[in-house]
Amino acid sequence: MTAHLLPHPLLRSASEGISPAFHHWQVLTDAYARQLEALRRREPGASAALTRISSDLAAFQKDPTHFGPLSR
């Protein structure tokens, strides 16, 4: 898993004991928020990362049991 997909340190302990599906959603939404901020700062690659994460979120919304790759 790449660093931009890791959950915020304060949220890691909060996600313990919850369902794997919710944890996966949390990881994706945290990554999306970080990449949105990176896009605001005009960081290279942020737009492509947002597109990939958005695709993963859309797939997850269609099928919450979908655990697409988190290592992109």
37 within 8 A of 4, measured Cβ to Cβ: no
CA–CA distance, 2 with 23 (Å, rounded to integer): 16
71 pLDDT higher than 80: no
70 pLDDT higher than 60: no
Q: Residues 16-25: what's their mean pLDDT? A: 78
1 pLDDT higher than 70: no
56 pLDDT higher than 60: yes
Would you list the domain boundaries of the chain? 21-61
64 pLDDT higher than 70: yes
22-50 pLDDT, tens per residue? 888 899 999 999 999 999 999 999 999 99
DSSP state of 1: -
